[in-house]
Amino acid sequence: MPSSFDEASEGAGRAPPAGSTLHLEDFFVGQRFTSGPAVLTADEIKQFAARFDPQPFHLDDAAAAQSVFGGLAASGWHTAAVSMRLLVQSDMRVAGGLIGLGGELSWPRPVRPGDELRVEVEVLEVRPSRSKPDCGIVKSRNQTLNQHNEAVQVAIVNMIVPRKPR
């Protein structure tokens, strides 16, 4: 069975070529980044849940049908993990990697088997660090959307981003 990240994400996980990463000076308010898609299967939802969030509405179709979700739903943590993978594979290639400093996370609707997810990022704020002159903070809104353009996860995050070397 193909994985959510097969052919469409070939080359993922490798560092971008030298010089193609983004530093604090490359970011601006309103800037947008996008990821490619990933499709979640029922098997993937159940496998993740069995290992990390073993609740009936993530594991069993009949129990899920009787739950508040009305059917099988991916764990929010599964959605977060897939979203992270999509961010790493996106066109937002931060020098030094995507290093979070915290934020807010919500799941406004469930992810269902067969949903095709993608992440859209909007830069909300860019500021130099007061305590570390070699880096700054980029605040962004990262929305994970399904194939109907409905938000299934919204994260407001702060990332530490290095400044360009002098």
What average pLDDT does this structure show over 5-12?
40
pLDDT tens by residue, 115-125: 999 999 999 99
Architecture of domain 21-162: Roll (3.10)
Q: What is the pLDDT of residue 166?
A: 81
pLDDT tens by residue, 133-152: 999 999 999 999 999 999 99
- Name the residue among 79, 88, 144 with its Cα closest to residue 118: 144
Task: Give residue limits of the domains in the chain.
Answer: 21-162
Would the pLDDT of 16 be above 50? no
Q: What is the pLDDT of residue 1?
A: 37
38 beta partners: 117
Do the beta carbons of residue 110 and residue 152 sit within 8 Å? Answer: yes
User: Does the reported pTM lie above 0.75?
Assistant: yes
Residue 74 exposed, middle or buried by CB count within 10 Å (0-12, 13-18, 19+): buried
Q: How many residues does the chain have?
A: 166
Q: What is the pLDDT of residue 9?
A: 40
